[in-house]
Structure 1
Amino acid sequence: MTRSTTVRTAPSISPPSASKGLSKLKARAGRIIYRFLLSLLFLFVFHLPSASARETLIGVVMPDNTPYYSTMHRAFVRELKRLTPPGQRLKIILQRPFPDPIALSNTARKLIAADVNLIVAYGSSATLAVIQERTDIPLVYAGFYNPEATAVQGRNVTGCGFKVPLTSILRYLRSLKQISTLSVVYSSLEEDSVRQANEFQRLTIEQHIRLTKINIKSRRDIEKLKSTTDDGAFFITGSAIVSSFIGDIIPMLQEKMAPSASIFPDQTADGVTLALYQPPAEQGKEAAKMAAKILLGTPPKNIAPEVLRDTELVVNLRAAKKIGINFPIHLIVEATTVIR
């Protein structure tokens, strides 16, 4: 008799499918990557430098109510924007104080406290006010008369000045009328205005002309013009303070039937009789080129300062007619601009 034997096997346990495990792994990895990218985006938006954080601050000290500097500044801004690399944002903080030493020093301190990247100063007084603060912020100057004659120096300082031949101005005035006295309108508050007055003093001694100096520090000083002689001519220095009162000064000179000359351009019909000046836009452009180099990392000490000497002559026939003067034909021919 045959006995049957039944063999029992243990129930098998099926392992998880490989595809199902892989799907879970991918899902988990996806969540990790998502969280990583989200964190990265958060860091980029909130912690990395933004466009505003990369904004370059430029502080500008420009004596108020001086058209010569205003023209210079407009040219500076246009040229600097042209030279600025794409993506770099510029913010220009323009300060226009009255050009006395206290106001200029306060303005310089204000810009230094604002931690600007660069300071631009127009004219000798503004430039020297910034230098005296002994800041490490780079300084670019423009509109500085003959800076080679004064102590404009420092490892963080460079700029563009100008020079006008004052001997030519005196020659032009003498061709208009016989001059026994030259009155120089200047301001003792501005270093380059004083130098121009002193330079004319040397010239008049050589040519046997009497010189009088009229120091303008405030509006009330304009009254000094009334006591000057009627038999002479006037030279108006490149002073920001004097320039701010030019609208009051010119009528007083015309009452004396006296010709006037300046190194600041005056395109108004009732302005100075003649002007010999260095075009301000050229200085603005040169200053912008220097500023652009500094903002790209070049130290100011490695940028040589410049002195522009090309000039333009403006003769004002209309103003001359008011005081009974006729311009000689050679001056009219020589002039760059003739106001009729």
Structure 2
Amino acid sequence: IVAGGSTAIRATKNATKAIPIVMAHGSDPVALGYVASLSRPGGNITGLTHLAPELGGKRLELLKDMIAQLTRVAVLTDPGTGGHGPQIKELEPAARALAVQLLVIPVRAPNELENGFSAMIAGRSGAFIGLQQPTLDRVRDRIVELANKNRLPGMYPNSEYVEAGGLVSYAADIVALFRRTASYVDRILKGARPAELPVEQPTNFELVINLKTAKQIGIEIPPHVLARADRVIR
């Protein structure tokens, strides 16, 4: 079974302990109890995670580079999703190092999004980070719409948000991760045991910036940040 995202991985894990499961991408599989360790999973699950230890900190650092006066960043999250805890935990040391206060905005249903953005504004957030969660991905367009309506700079979990009008994303190349799953499937079909196949973390990350959105919400992207972009939407 190939499963992408924490919700699908959790569902397949609960469904079987015998059939091999390959994670196409997912949050911290150790913290979520999917595997015993990255180097030796120890069960019927292996594959790839879209998170790397430095990813949350890098996203926060990029926001700070873009908005030098940034002191408060909201974190848009669905607390009912498996990746919530690990991703919040990953941001905390970077926030302390950058002297940025995090404001966690829980959104458990689509009809809570508008109130969530109102809470960001009321909390004087200078920007927000959207976590990589399937429940948020399903309302991607609405999140982008509300962010731009409130002229709030957003760091998004993948480039699809930026293509939909979001400001910026810094993320693992999800397409590349799905391609890598084929090698796991091939090895398992040839007799390898998932318990002994190490979980891989991403090595390729992509910075995507939407200059049209930057102009719309009144943000000027510094040249040194723009020069680091892998893709710019104009």
Could you state the TM-score of these two structures normalised by the residue count of structure 1? 0.61
Q: C-alpha distance in 1, partners of 2:199/2:28?
A: 11
- Match for 1:255 among 135, 149, 152? 149
Aligned to 2:204: 310
Identify the match of residue 275 of structure 1 among 169, 187, 193.
169
Q: Does residue 1:240 correspond to 2:134, yes or no? A: yes
Q: Which residue of 2 aligns with 1:222?
A: 113
1:173 aligns with 2:76: no
1:192 aligns with 2:83: yes
- Name the counterpart of 1:288: 182
- Per-residue CA deviations over 1:120-166 (Å, capped at 9, x if unaligned) read 11112221222233431111112113434442224322111122422
Q: How far does residue 180 in structure 1 lie from its aligned partner after superposition?
A: 2.6
User: How far did 1:185 drift?
Assistant: 0.5
Q: 1:155 and 2:46 equivalent?
A: no
Deviation at residue 200 of structure 1 after TM alignment: 2.1
Q: Following the alignment from structure 1 to structure 2, what is the Cα–Cα distance between the partners of residues 148 and 265? A: 26
Equivalent in 216, 219, 226 of residue 325 of structure 1: 219
Alignment correspondent of 2:38: none
How much does 1:267 deviate? 6.2
Deviations 1:176-200 (A, max 9, x none): 2222321100111222233212322
**Of 318-327 and 248-257, the range deviating more from structure 2:** 248-257
Alignment equivalent of 1:210, drawn from 101, 125, 133: 101
Instruction: Choose between structure 1 and 2 for higher RCO, CA contacts under 8 A separated by at least 6 residues.
Output: 2
C-alpha contact (below 8 Å) 1:269/1:318 kept by paired residues: no
Secondary structure at the aligned position of 2:83 is classed as helix
SS in 1 for 2:86: helix
* Cα-Cα RMSD: 2.0
- Cα distance in 1 for residues equivalent to 2:128 and 2:153: 6
Whichever of the two has the greater Rg, that structure is: 1
1:183 alignment partner, SS class: strand
- Which letter does structure 2 place at the counterpart of 1:162? H
Distance in 2 (alpha carbons) for counterparts of 1:198 and 1:267 = 23
Using a 3 Å threshold, how does the CA distance of structure 1 residues 194 and 305 change in structure 2: closer, same or farther? same
Q: Note the residue ranges of structure 1 that are not aligned, 5 or more in a row.
A: 1-118
Given that residues 163 and 309 in structure 1 are in contact (C-alpha distance below 8 angstroms), is that contact kept between their aligned partners in structure 2?
no
Q: Identity of paired residues, percent?
A: 24
Distance verdict in 2 for CA 1:128–1:223, change over 3 Å: same
Aligned residues: 222
Instruction: Report the counterpart of residue 39 of structure 2 in structure 1.
Output: none
Structure 2 unaligned spans of 5+: 36-41
Kept in 1: contact 2:114–2:146 (CA 8 A)? no
Residue identity in the other structure for 2:111: R
